[in-house]
Structure 1
């Protein structure tokens, strides 16, 4: 089903997301955020392969997200403006991977504890509003 390279890429991406989350929890720790970004991008590269990765990041409709995502990583690595870099990177991340959010939410709704939270009427209303208008409800 998956090659060994794709399994390693999935694990690198998961560890990268974990380090990014941990970096945010520890008040935007620059080292953890940088490590998380590097692991995430390398994991995506291993999952998709060289040509598909270039095609994904080079799509015409996703070019703004690509530029902002990598600009945020560069700002995070090269300057002391961690918060600004994270905001730019987060905006690029949402533009790049925003098409996958409804799929991720539908998978998360099937999980035991998270599914109960996401299926709560208030949370469900917010998620439906965000999904229908492709914009944040607040």
Structure 2
């Protein structure tokens, strides 16, 4: 059972996840700086773990349909840490897309409710892109 109440642990987890995304973005901006990328990866993973809990994190990453994403994300993380940031980030990006592809429809609905961004997304050429993925469901 997943609890949707926002306690301090989940707030810290969301903050760590945000900082992880920020440090990863900085690492890419600074020409794939391996230190920033590794720190971003560690913060992102620890933030996700704190936000949804250790058991749910393990269940998510160990699902049979997520193995390909988990393995490529893990190998990419390892490559970033040992000093091959470009190849590591390519593998991590692929793993991230595979792992979190089930969340794209929810993200699309959320983005459409943001005032200025929502207007842009409501345009016919952009909306057709989001509508294509809204109907697709990933089995749980």
**TM-score range, shorter-chain basis?**
0.7 to 0.9
- Matched residue, 1:76: 80
Cα root mean square deviation, aligned? 1.8
**1:91-135 C-alpha deviation (Å, 9 max, x unpaired):** 00111111001101110111112212222222222333455679x
How far the C-alpha of 1:29 sits from its partner, in A, is 2.3
For 1:1-138, what aligned pairs fall within 5 Å after superposition? Answer: 1-79=5-83, 81-131=84-134
In structure 2, how many angstroms separate the alpha carbons of the residues matched to 1:54 and 1:65?
A: 13
Provide structure 1 residue ranges, at least 5 long, that are not aligned to the other structure.
Answer: none
Distance 2:116 2:26 in 1: 21
Distance in 1 between the 2:22 and 2:31 partners?
Answer: 15
In 2, Cα distance between equivalents of 1:131 and 1:82: 33
Secondary structure of the 1:107 match is helix
Runs of 4+ in 1 over 6 A off after TM superposition: none
Shift of 1:14: 1.1
Aligned residues: 133
**Residue 46 to residue 25, structure 1, CA distance change in 2 (3 Å):** same
Offset from partner CA, 1:65-86 (integer Å, 9 cap, x none): 111111111011113x221111
Q: What is the distance in 1 between the residues matched to 2:77 and 2:59?
A: 20
**Whole-angstrom CA distance in 1 between matches of 2:113 and 2:30:** 30
**CA–CA distance in 1 between the matches of 2:54 and 2:80?**
25
